[in-house]
Amino acid sequence: MKIFIAGGTGFVGRHLVSLLEKDHHLIIPARQPSKLQHETPNVTVIPFSEELSDLIIKHSPDIVVNLLGILQEEPSEGITFEKVHVEYTKSLIEGAKKSGVKKFIHISALGADINSKSRYAKTKAEAEQIVINSGIPYVIIRPSIILGKGQKLFEDLKKFSSLTPVILAPAGKVQPVHIDDVVETIKKAVEDESIKNTIIELCGSRIITYRELFEFALSYIGKKRVVLQMPAWFFWMMLPVFKLFPEPPVTEDQLYLLETDNICTGRYLTQKDILGSVKVAFKL
């Protein structure tokens, strides 16, 4: 089967490519092809173009998997939530419709909400509606925080732990999911024709605090630091200071996201329904 993977060089993308490349022909647009580390007979890396619809029409895949997404914007580079989440999805859908794609698999996020004060969550919801209204059989996957090799959280904490003996964690709860559950759910959606026109939420079996998440991540990278949980008002008060950082530890949009716990709602299918089990997210 020929599969077009948008975002194939990212954290989830690299794991997905490793899982799918033996059995399928993968088409992967990339700005930095070296991130994939290799190119096999079943993996074709092509130059990334913002005219994603043209790329799909040219390569005529059976399935499109959209992994494109950002957590922080870079306005000076033209990288915004609206562009990456909404405009790129529109372009992918346009190409998928014109080329007769059989299924569109879209990776969204827990907390996608058209009424959210967070533009991240709002644009994720807008993209979902584009997919749902396209007329193409679809699968929308909403993961919680994903744990696995290459998770940016580990690199961020490694950097911050070199600067301070104390790590500050926001209040709130999260239900991390193992990277294997994410990519295996995508694989199942690719290969099982009966899985379509549905939303799947992906969470692990444990609900924890962000303090516990940071403590786990620090242990994983071999750093001993004190983690203090701080109330929301503290981060809002510190926001003007954070904005002075080249890479702010937290943004205004992320603070809006933190107003809602990042846990599964119980209203949709989960990986247990699709795969029959749930991996322990903290066994990496």
pLDDT 10s digits, 224-278: 999 999 999 999 999 999 888 888 889 999 999 999 999 999 999 999 999 999 9
Q: Report whether pLDDT(37) > 70.
A: no
Q: Average model confidence (pLDDT) for the chain?
A: 95
* Amino acid at position 257, single letter: L
The pLDDT assigned to 77 comes to 87
Q: What's the gap between Cα 242 and its chain centre?
A: 24
Q: Which two tokens stand for residue 270?
A: 């989960």
Q: For residues 55 and 91, what is the distance between their CA atoms, to the nearest angstrom?
A: 10
Residue 238 Cα distances to 111, 161, 257, angstroms: 24, 19, 17
Q: Report whether pLDDT(38) > 70.
A: no
Q: Report whether pLDDT(279) > 80.
A: yes
Q: Report whether pLDDT(39) > 70.
A: no
Q: Report whether pLDDT(35) > 90.
A: no
CA angle 71, 26, 95 (to 5 degrees): 70
pLDDT digits (tens, 9 = 90+) for 172-215: 999 999 999 999 999 999 999 999 999 999 999 999 999 999 99
DSSP 104-142: EEEE--TT--TT-S-HHHHHHHHHHHHHHTTSS-EEEEE
Q: For residues 171 and 106, what is the distance between their CA atoms, to the nearest angstrom?
A: 29
The pLDDT assigned to 75 comes to 85
Q: Is 40 exposed, middle or buried (0-12, 13-18, 19+ CB in 10 A)?
A: exposed
| In the chain, where the domains are located | 2-146+178-203+265-275
H or E element: which one contains 172? none
Q: For residues 264 and 145, what is the distance between their CA atoms, to the nearest angstrom?
A: 11
- pTM (global) more than 0.85: yes
* Higher pLDDT pick, 46 / 33: 46
Q: Is 183 exposed, middle or buried (0-12, 13-18, 19+ CB in 10 A)?
A: buried
Backbone angles phi, psi at 89, to 5 degrees: -65, -40
Q: For residues 265 and 197, what is the distance between their CA atoms, to the nearest angstrom?
A: 19
2-146+178-203+265-275: in CATH 3.40.50.720: yes
The pLDDT assigned to 120 comes to 98
